[in-house]
């Protein structure tokens, strides 16, 4: 049934809503009002404004709602002074190309890859095959010949193939991390993230706690229009889950490890897991929420939520100097042209110091 609902949502392009107490999304019927889309918090339709007025409204919304102004060192006054005259000039000349180019330049001045402008009409994109992704299994497990268990986590979300990824991860742990396994390798490379609550659920297999309250995986602080401030909306605890992992754990990351995958890597690092990679993780965990439709149909999206630790400090997100992400404990050199999988081979060697790991691939 869940698969059918997800397929229907994909096929029709309708809005979706999370089923309470789950990570599943189901189609949400919309009221058919032509030309007037239903808008939620952080959204606005500015298509019918003059370009310079739309720019002013867009800039004001970004200034108020963008999640990482101070953290990223964004100078809104400088952006206003530079681009507002360009908007008026482009509109006076009725130059649609100039309008798009100034918007693209504006976005490029904000050091956050989650601030995005929709592609120019007619431009080819590399957004990937959404339906193909939905058919993938988010969790894949096997026992390596050298003995360690290996689990690759592709993303943190249900798919048509795996509507309950939390259960799939529990089964995978039972299959490859128990018995005589000398350790476990979690592969988070090329994982774009997904649902933070699902990553917190996965983390529960790696912790036991004796305190009155479970440890905090992360907090989400989101912009509130009513309070005109960022307020904590959600707190994700880490509740112990079966089966518990009591063997050494190595986590593989790369520069494409992002979002919820970074948060899991950070938590496991705090629990004593060894992080192995050639570079820090992406450092991009902002929560999407802002979406402004501008004249000529261009859509500007931006994060309106920030991720915090238990002490309400910003975590993982890269700052104005580019510092952030999860730094590997073992930082290997990039070696182009190597055959096999050097990171996996190194992880196997860490877990089986007396074995020959040359066969890892």
268 contacts 200 by C-beta, under 8 angstroms = no
With vertex at residue 195, the alpha carbon angle to CA 199 and CA 351, rounded to the nearest 5 degrees, is 25
Residues spanned by the domain of 244: 134-351
Please check whether residue 20 lies inside any domain of the structure: no
Q: How is the chain split among helix, strand and coil, in percent rounded to 5? A: 30, 20, 50
Write out the chain's pLDDT in tens, 361 residues.
Answer: 444 444 344 343 344 444 444 444 444 443 333 344 445 556 789 999 999 999 999 999 999 999 999 999 999 999 999 999 999 999 999 999 999 999 999 999 999 999 999 998 777 655 555 455 667 899 999 999 999 999 999 999 999 989 999 999 999 999 999 889 999 999 999 999 999 999 999 999 999 877 678 899 999 999 998 998 999 999 999 999 999 999 999 999 999 999 999 999 999 999 999 999 999 999 999 999 999 999 999 999 999 999 999 999 999 999 999 999 999 999 999 876 667 899 999 999 999 987 654 444 4
Instruction: For residue 67, tell me if it sits in a domain.
Output: no
Residue 262 in any domain: the answer is yes
Flag whether 161 is in a domain. yes
Is residue 340 included in any domain, yes or no? Answer: yes
Does residue 194 lie within any of the structural domains? yes
- Residue 183 is assigned to a structural domain of this protein: yes
Distance separating alpha carbons of residues 263 and 282, to the nearest angstrom = 11
Q: What whole-number distance in Å separates Cα of residue 147 and Cα of residue 161?
A: 28
pTM: 0.84
Dihedral sign for Cα 342, 347, 351, 353, please: positive
Report the CATH number at residue 194: 3.90.226.10
Q: How far apart are CA 11 and CA 33, in angstroms?
A: 20
**Residue in this structure with the two tokens 């897991």, named with its chain if needed:** 273
Please tell me the total count of domains within the chain: 1
d(CA 23, CA 275) in angstroms, rounded, equals: 27
Rg (CA), the chain: 23
Asked, for residue 277, whether it belongs to a domain, the answer is yes
């Amino acid at each position: 049934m869940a698969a059918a609902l997800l397929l229907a949502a994909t096929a029709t392009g309708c809005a979706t809503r999370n089923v309470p107490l789950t990570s599943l999304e189901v189609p949400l019927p919309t009221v058919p009002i032509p030309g007037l889309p239903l808008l939620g918090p952080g959204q606005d339709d500015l298509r019918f404004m003059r370009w310079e007025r739309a720019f002013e409204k867009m800039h004001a919304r970004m200034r108020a709602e963008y999640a990482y102004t101070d953290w990223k060192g964004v100078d809104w006054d400088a952006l206003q002074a530079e681009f507002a005259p360009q908007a008026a000039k482009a509109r006076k000349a009725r130059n649609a190309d100039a309008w798009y180019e100034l918007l693209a330049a504006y976005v490029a001045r904000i050091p956050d890859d989650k601030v995005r402008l929709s592609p120019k009409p007619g431009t080819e994109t590399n957004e990937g095959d959404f339906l193909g992704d939905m058919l993938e299994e988010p969790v894949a497990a096997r026992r390596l010949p050298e003995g360690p268990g290996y689990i690759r986590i592709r993303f943190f979300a249900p798919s048509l193939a795996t509507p309950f990824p939390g259960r799939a991860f529990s089964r995978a742990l039972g299959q490859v991390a128990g018995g005589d396994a000398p350790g476990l390798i979690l592969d988070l490379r090329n994982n774009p993230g997904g649902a933070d609550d699902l990553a917190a659920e996965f983390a529960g297999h790696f912790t036991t706690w004796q305190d009155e309250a479970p440890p905090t995986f992360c907090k989400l602080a989101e912009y509130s229009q009513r309070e005109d401030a960022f307020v904590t909306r959600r707190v994700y605890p880490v509740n112990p889950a079966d089966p518990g992992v009591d063997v050494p754990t190595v986590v593989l990351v790369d520069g494409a490890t992002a979002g919820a995958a970074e948060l899991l890597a950070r938590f496991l690092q705090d629990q004593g897991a060894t992080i192995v990679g050639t570079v820090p993780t992406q450092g991009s965990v902002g929560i999407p929420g802002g979406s402004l439709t501008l004249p000529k149909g261009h859509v500007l999206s931006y994060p309106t939520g920030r991720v915090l630790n238990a002490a309400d400090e910003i975590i993982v997100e890269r700052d104005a100097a580019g510092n952030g992400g999860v730094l590997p404990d073992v930082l290997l050199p990039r070696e182009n042209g190597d055959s096999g999988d050097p990171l996996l081979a190194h992880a196997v060697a860490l877990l089986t110091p007396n074995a020959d790991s040359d066969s890892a691939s």
